[in-house]
A and B are shown apart, each in its own frame.
Chain A
Amino acid sequence: MKKLAVFALCTLMILSLAACGSKSEAKELDLDAFAKQVIDAVEYDDDMVQLNEQIASEYYGLSFDGLEQWVAYGSGTAATTNELMLMRLKDDAAVSAAKEAVQKRIDDQTSNYEGYRPDELFRLENAVIEVRGSYLLFSISPDNDTVTKLFEDALK
């Protein structure tokens, strides 16, 4: 009887630990705090301002299903193509749609700057699109190594 009780208690403990253990795999990212961390850490060569819904819709569409949350910053002066966009996405379909949206943004900006400021094309060509779990990072910046590392560290 005692053995059975002990066994049952052990099972109970193991199950509780298992519940805690598997929960930590789906890591939550505070998009707003993370974006601010990136803006502070990277030496952007331009004023970065937070984008409101109207301007972000113009840049990215944002009308696809499964977009749960987003935060975006962009050049406040139009002097560079610097941009930072973070999205939390519900499923694979949403991730695909999001990737398409940011790729389209790169294409639009490329055609805007092609004849006008070819030096910005280098920055656009080095744009980063990275997905980890439910999160998508889109970055055009002078230091994408730092941006990428911050993203990967945050979601380890």
Chain B
Amino acid sequence: MPNLEFRPKRRRKRRGAPILVGVLCAAVFSAAAAGIWQLNSTPVQALKPLELDPSVVAAFSSSPQAVAVQAAPSSEPESSSQEPFPEEVSSEPAQSASGQSESAQTPGALEEQPRVTSAYFDDAVFIGDSITTGIKLYDVMSNTTVLASTGIGLENILSKPAIKYGEETLTAMQALAKTGAKKVYIMLGANSILGDHDTMVGLYGNLIDEVRRNAPDSVIYVQSVLPINEEIFHVKYNPNTDNSDIMDFNKKLAALAAEKQAYYLDVGSVFRDETGGMPADYTPDGMHINSAQYIMWFDYLKTHAIAAE
């Protein structure tokens, strides 16, 4: 009988103790878990940014000419993939993808050629000013070499060390010599239109000579100065430059190219509307070109390329 009285108490004690221990353990575990969670940093991994290829996005967006270019039957499947295509040059002339008249507005411009692939630009170098610097931004042109800088012009191209090349900052010619380029594209002169054209053409001629010296046996392309959108340019920059001045300069460049056994490319024809100027939606400031226009530029180059020997 006395045992029965004690039993309930003992049972409560036995039930109580494990519960208390269990709760205390849970509390300690929770504290420990919270503490460890706080102290641990999240796994360190430098994430790459999303590879949005703006060039591809732009090419399939509203610009009708860019879309037409992509749909041209003779074009190879262009993608943002970094795998190089085997070099192939189609044996028949490409159709005029952009629908623009192929009669070059500047006499002496290189006519349309069989289309080349992106691989053509593997051993190409682009020399120029701020417009050329934009090429580096677009994955579809990532295989080519750009030697360009804002603030470079005909008057300082040979002297100004403005090109980042690896760890060094070099002049364009110093960098060119290191590239082993077989094709050299030049686009300069936009900042020199208001200067004396003959002087500027003389400087351009010196540049071509230096390019030949630093990249012997290369094909040299002199690209036209691009048209401006006069309305925007006159407000943003100065009211004195007109597309007719630019055309005059380009005619002299075409003649210079012939004299120097270089090819003159009327790249400006891609961006010229019926007024002879650049459409407003192609340019942020009357002079530079928007993302979609870089794609148009390169497509023009692919159909105006001299096959390497």
Interface residues of A (CB under 8 A from B): 1, 4-5, 8-9, 11-12, 15-16, 18-19, 22-23, 32, 45-47, 49-55, 58, 67-72, 74, 76-80, 90, 112-117
Contact = CB atoms under 8 A, between A and B. Distances in A.
A23 B284 contact: no
B290 interface: yes
A69 B46 CA distance: 5
B260 to A, nearest CB: 27
Given A47-B284, A50-B49, A9 B23 contact: yes
A36 B270 CA distance: 31
A128 to B, nearest CB: 20
The 4 tightest CB contacts between A and B, nearest first, are A19-B34, A8-B23, A79-B288, A78-B130
Given A58-B164, A116-B151, A5 B137 contact: no
A11 B34 CA distance: 13
Contacts of A70: 46, 49
B288 A77 contact: yes
Nearest to B16: A1
Interface in B88-106: none
A49 B291 contact: yes
Given A4-B20, A22-B38, A90-B44, A76 B30 contact: no
B235 interface: no
Contacts of A77: 134, 283-285, 288-291
Contact of A68 (B12, B46, B54): B46
A9 B151 CA distance: 71
Interface in B31-68: 31, 33-34, 37-38, 41, 44-52, 54
Contacts of B23: 5, 8-9, 12
Interface in B190-211: 191
B75 interface: no
Contacts of A4: 20
Contacts, number: 120
Interface in B235-285: 283-285
A78 B16 contact: no
A50 B55 CA distance: 11
Contacts of A116: 130, 150-151, 191
B139 interface: yes
Given A47-B291, A51-B137, A79 B284 contact: yes
21 contacts: A4-B20, A9-B23, A12-B27, A16-B30, A19-B30, A19-B31, A19-B33, A19-B37, A49-B138, A50-B52, A54-B142, A55-B136, A68-B46, A72-B49, A76-B137, A77-B283, A77-B288, A78-B130, A78-B131, A80-B284, A112-B150
Nearest to B27: A12
Given A8-B27, A32-B50, A49-B137, A23 B37 contact: yes
Interface centre among A19, A46, A67 (most CB of B within 10 A): A19
Contacts of A55: 136-137
B8 to A, nearest CB: 13
